[in-house]
Chain A
């Protein structure tokens, strides 16, 4: 029996949602890590049920960070631009593999004058979502700086990155394809997973956040299991490199783009 109320039926994740582009994905496996699946089945997830993963959303002003969050959390879209003051957050509750899991989506201000305030909220993020406008090359170029700023407050090896192109509906297929080439390049440099969405039409918005929830859940459970197993063994340090999947233990390379 869980103290949390059950989540909405449309926030239940039973299978790992697929990535958007294989060229720039965190991993392209089709299902959850077997350790995670079995831990969830056996209800060995520990305190994950209480856990809320912090997601920060950064990017240039008026690229549509707030719209993206509002489309997913409230299913609304406001055409009028209203600058976010400092930060805002939305809660979104999921049930992943039968385990309650919440995302706290921190919407930050893109305006330079709020940067000093917004950046104090960067710390402790499990995932960083960097948004750019697919119709504005400059906003894509600036994503490197946004990433660098966000990583200053976080451990680069423990954080999942997403590069999200917004306002896809405003772009023609030809224009979009050109932009996607550049965006994939940037995403590969950052080792981020690339997505392209439209908050106006809702295209890919739900899929994107489900992917974010699933991947943060997966890494969160794995981290939890690693902690508890280390505690069980006591003084012995467990070498995890004999795991079947090496992506877990391979240390994340430092992104090349923000030295």
Chain B
């Protein structure tokens, strides 16, 4: 088929392509038509060359169409093909129409879908706005929750400490009743503490007591030794004496520790003591050990108070004596008094009523020096 007018060759630039188009038409034409066509072509080329391609531009399509018609008349096959072409044309029209209808329908569908899409997009925008709002709300709630949890924790901690304080106060509660008036305004019973001076006083007193204990123990050991050295002493008496000394020591210890019950209960045991004379004297407990060491006396000289009287200072003030007391030789001066004391002890089982001769002053002096020296060494300087 020949090129159609809607082919891009003609409308755009017919002057340039008309020769080719004619050659094409001529090539397919029967021989007589060819010749006429060739002649026409030559004429037209000449005209074109002489007056420019525009001069023949209007002529060419008409000539081409004529040549085509001539060609079709000259070619029977081509003439027959003319009828179906018309049918085809109408069919093509039908197709175009249906296509147009389909296109219209499609357009409708597309429009509808576009509207739907627009609506959905709008809906999505709305929903996302809602979502955002909800998320904001959620965050607010979470923050608030956090805050509340924190507050709860703080309150719980406060509650716990208050409970602890309360239980502490409850634990302390039993003691205040008897001594609330003694307490200073700023001091609770639990925080009652000693000042440095008070503590030093307590320690000094403790040290003095401990020192006295040591000295008394030494005294006892000394007397014990003296008795053991004396062969005339009956063993029964010695045993009784030893056990009594032991009890007395226990008693002193109990007194020092403030456990007087123990000391009281021990008093009963002393009643059965073999010496029999210990409980005969209605002296306070402090003096018993002395009354025992001088068992035969109706008015027993208390060893320590006698020493105090002799030196003019009590045992407690002994530490204040100058640092280097002239301590005598132990052996020489102490011996006579020891002897006399040992001798005095012997008649104990049968308690005498008459007063005995006073203790040897030399012996007392030496013992006193010993005790003073001991006190000096035992107590720290500066007391």
Contacts and interface: CB of A to CB of B under 8 A. Distances in A.
Query: Interface size class for chain B?
Result: 20 to 34
A3 interface: yes
B374 A3 contact: no
Given A1-B330, A5-B221, A123 B210 contact: no
A104 B330 contact: no
Chief secondary structure at chain B's binding surface:
helix
B203 A51 contact: no
Interface in A56-115: 85-89, 91, 102, 104
B200 A2 contact: no
B6 interface: no
Interface string B343-383: 00000000000000000000000110010011001101110
B214 interface: yes
Interface string B207-244: 10010001000100110110000000000000000000
Interface in B159-199: 196, 199
Query: Interface size class for chain A?
Result: 20 to 34
Nearest to A90: B210
Interface in A109-131: 116-117, 120-121, 123-124
A18 interface: no
Contact of B380 (A1, A49, A91, A121): A121
Nearest to A86: B203
A121 B207 CA distance: 11
B218 A5 contact: yes
A47 B380 contact: no
Chief secondary structure at chain A's binding surface:
mixed
B381 A3 contact: no
B370 A3 contact: yes
A145 to B, nearest CB: 21
A120 B330 contact: no
Most buried by B among A3, A121, A123, A124: A3
B335 interface: yes
Contact of A117 (B200, B218, B330, B367): B200
Contacts of A123: 380-382
A117 B335 CA distance: 42
Interface in A1-33: 1-6
A50 B370 contact: yes
B214 A50 contact: no
Contact of A49 (B196, B200, B214, B330): B330
Contacts, number: 67
A168 interface: no
A117 B380 contact: no
Given A3-B334, A49-B330, A50-B327, A120 B382 contact: yes
A52 interface: yes
B381 A1 contact: no
A144 interface: no
B218 A86 contact: no
B331 interface: yes
Most buried by B among A5, A6, A87, A121: A5
Contacts of B221: 5
A1 B327 contact: no
Nearest to A121: B380
A5 B245 CA distance: 15
A52 B327 CA distance: 13
Contact of A3 (B199, B203, B214, B366): B366
B377 A51 contact: yes
Nearest to B333: A3
A235 B330 CA distance: 29
Contacts of B338: 1
Nearest to B223: A5
A86 B377 CA distance: 19
A3 B330 contact: yes
Contacts of A120: 200, 380, 382
A20 B167 CA distance: 53
B199 A4 contact: no
Contacts of B335: 1
Contact of A52 (B330, B378, B382): B378
A6 B370 CA distance: 15
A70 B275 CA distance: 36
Given A51-B377, A123-B381, A87 B331 contact: no
A86 B331 contact: no
A236 B196 CA distance: 48
Contacts of A121: 380
B225 A86 contact: no
Contact of B331 (A1, A6, A88, A89): A1
Contact of B330 (A2, A6, A91, A124): A2
A167 interface: no
A82 B207 CA distance: 19
A52 B373 CA distance: 9
Contacts of B207: 87, 89
A50 B373 contact: yes
A128 to B, nearest CB: 15
Interface string A27-51: 0000000000000000000010111
Contacts of A54: 377
A88 B207 CA distance: 7
B222 A86 contact: no
Contact of B225 (A5, A104, A116): A5
18 contacts: A1-B330, A3-B334, A4-B330, A5-B225, A6-B225, A47-B373, A50-B327, A50-B377, A52-B374, A52-B378, A54-B377, A86-B199, A88-B206, A91-B378, A117-B199, A117-B203, A120-B380, A123-B381
